[in-house]
Structure 1
Amino acid sequence: MLTDAAEQGLLRSADRKRIEIAGRALVYGFARMNLDGHFPRWRVEQREVERVAEEGSTCSSRALQSRSSFAAR
């Protein structure tokens, strides 16, 4: 996916490795917090966790777009 986006000029940064590592870290951290039970301890309801996960997915997709395309949204 990143290769295709880079070839089409859709990445906001040319550093694909940095984007890949940052994306994985974000997803891993969120999943780990969920699996470890942090959210219930912080009084975050499951539906809120799911909403944030969905928004994060949408945000990640937008981050792959070029700045001009992102600003137009």
Structure 2
Amino acid sequence: MHVADPQLWAGAGAAPPEDVGGVYGFERFLDTLGNPEDEEHDGMVEWAEDQMWDRFTLNRHRERLFRWHKHRDMMLQ
């Protein structure tokens, strides 16, 4: 059975990291990351990295999907 290659055409946003503080905490998180002048910016960037959080980027997620599909195909052989 042949399954067509998966395609990712669009996307937006990213799921909130764990323990961000709900909707309002996530809003503050995004505002702080987007403002290098904010006194909490550097700490928030470090925390985001510790959480392995990243913004949705179409090309990066297409690459992840491609690698997953390639690995999956190799495992099925």
Provide the TM-score with structure 1 as the length reference: 0.30
State which structure, 1 or 2, has the greater radius of gyration over its C-alpha atoms: 2
Higher helix share: 1
